Structure 1
Amino acid sequence: MDRPIGLSVRLKLTLSYAGFLMLAGALLLAIVWVFLLRYVPDHAITLQRRDVPGGAMRAPTLFIPGRSDLWRAFAPKAGAALVLLLVVGLVGGWLLADRMLAPLARITKAARRAAAGSLTHRIELEGPKDEFRELADTFDIMLARLEAHEAEQQRFAANASHELRTPLAITQTLLDVARKDPSRVTGELIDRLHAVNARAIDLTEALLLLSRADRRSFTRDDVDLSLVAEEAVETLLPVAERHGVTVETSGAAAPTEGSSALLLQLATNLVHNAIVHNQPEQGLVWVTTTVAADAAVLTVENTGEQLDPAELPTLTEPFQRGTRRIHTAGSGVGLGLAIVRSITEAHDGTLTLAARPTGGLRVTVRLPSRPVRPGR
Structure 2
Amino acid sequence: MTRSLSVRWRLTIAYTVIVALSGAVLLTLVYGLVTGGEVRSGSVTTEMTPGADDDGPPPVPPELRDDERTHGSGELLQSSWLALAFVTVVSVGIGWVVAGRLLAPVHTITARAQRISADSLDERIALGGPRDELRALADTFDALLGRVQTTVTSERRLVATMSHELRTPLANQQAALDVALADPKAGPDELRAAATTALDQSRRAARTIDALLLLTRAQSGEATGLPSPVDLRATVAEVVEQVRSPDDGLAWEVDLAPATVPGEPDLLARAAANLVDNAAHHNVPHGRVVVRLTVEEGVARMVVENTGPLVAPGAAEDLVLPFRRGSADRTAGGGGVGLGLTVVSAVAEHHGGQLLLKPRPDGGLVAELLLPTP
TM-score (norm 1): 0.86
Alignment of 1:89-168 (within 5 A): 89-115=91-117, 117-168=119-170
The alignment partner of 1:83 has SS state of helix
Distance 1:5 1:35, change over 3 A: same
Q: What is the aligned partner in structure 1 of residue 232 from structure 2?
A: 225
The alignment partner of 1:39 has SS state of helix
Is the aligned partner of 1:351 residue 2:358?
Answer: no
The alignment partner of 1:104 has SS state of helix
Shift in Å, 1:220: 3.7
Partner amino acid for 1:58? P
Q: Give the distance between the partners of 2:36 and 2:372, measured in 1 at CA.
A: 72
Q: What is the aligned partner in structure 2 of residue 32 from structure 1?
A: 30
Q: Give the distance between the partners of 2:305 and 2:42, measured in 1 at CA.
A: 103
Q: Give the distance between the partners of 1:213 and 1:224, measured in 2 at CA.
A: 20
Partner amino acid for 2:88? L
TM-score (norm 2): 0.86
Aligned pairs, number: 363
Contact 1:225 1:298 in 2 (8 A): no
Contact 1:113 1:119 in 2 (8 A): no
Shift in Å, 1:151: 1.3
Is the aligned partner of 1:235 residue 2:242?
Answer: yes
Q: What is the aligned partner in structure 2 of residue 280 from structure 1?
A: 285
Contact 2:292 2:303 in 1 (8 A): yes
Q: Give the distance between the partners of 1:295 and 1:81, measured in 2 at CA.
A: 74
Partner amino acid for 1:269? N
Distance 1:329 1:23, change over 3 A: same
Distance 1:173 1:93, change over 3 A: same
Larger mean Cα displacement after TM superposition, 59-68 or 183-192? 59-68
The alignment partner of 1:41 has SS state of helix
Q: What is the aligned partner in structure 1 of residue 85 from structure 2?
A: 83
Shift in Å, 1:71: 4.8
Q: Give the distance between the partners of 2:308 and 2:4, measured in 1 at CA.
A: 67
Contact 1:178 1:184 in 2 (8 A): no
Contact 1:178 1:185 in 2 (8 A): no
Picking from 10, 13, 35, the partner of 1:12 is: 10
Distance 1:17 1:54, change over 3 A: closer
Contact 2:174 2:198 in 1 (8 A): no
Alignment of 1:326-341 (within 5 A): 326-330=331-335, 332-341=336-345
Picking from 263, 280, 299, the partner of 1:295 is: 299
Shift in Å, 1:145: 1.4
Q: Unmatched 5+ residue regions in structure 2?
A: none
Is the aligned partner of 1:215 residue 2:220?
Answer: yes
Output the aligned Cα RMSD: 2.9
Is the aligned partner of 1:23 residue 2:30?
Answer: no
Partner amino acid for 2:227? D
Alignment of 1:243-262 (within 5 A): 243-262=248-267
Q: Residue deviations 1:66-100, cap 9 Å, x none?
A: 88546523332232232233234322221222222
Q: Give the distance between the partners of 2:116 and 2:232, measured in 1 at CA.
A: 41
Q: Give the distance between the partners of 1:77 and 1:369, measured in 2 at CA.
A: 78
Distance 1:116 1:337, change over 3 A: closer
Shift in Å, 1:324: 1.2
The alignment partner of 1:118 has SS state of coil
Alignment of 1:40-51 (within 5 A): 40-41=38-39
Q: What is the aligned partner in structure 2 of residue 202 from structure 1?
A: 207
Shift in Å, 1:8: 0.9
Partner amino acid for 2:334? A
Q: Residue deviations 1:172-224, cap 9 Å, x none?
A: 11111222225334232222222111111101111111111122111341334
Q: Residue deviations 1:331-373, cap 9 Å, x none?
A: x000111111222222232222112233321222333333xxx
Shift in Å, 1:147: 1.1
Distance 1:91 1:190, change over 3 A: same
Contact 2:231 2:261 in 1 (8 A): yes
Q: What is the aligned partner in structure 1 of residue 193 from structure 2?
A: 188
Q: Give the distance between the partners of 1:70 and 1:232, measured in 2 at CA.
A: 102
Distance 1:197 1:82, change over 3 A: same
Shift in Å, 1:117: 4.7
Larger mean Cα displacement after TM superposition, 218-227 or 268-277? 218-227
Q: Give the distance between the partners of 1:245 and 1:71, measured in 2 at CA.
A: 109
The alignment partner of 1:202 has SS state of helix
Percent of pairs identical after alignment? 37
Distance 1:316 1:91, change over 3 A: same
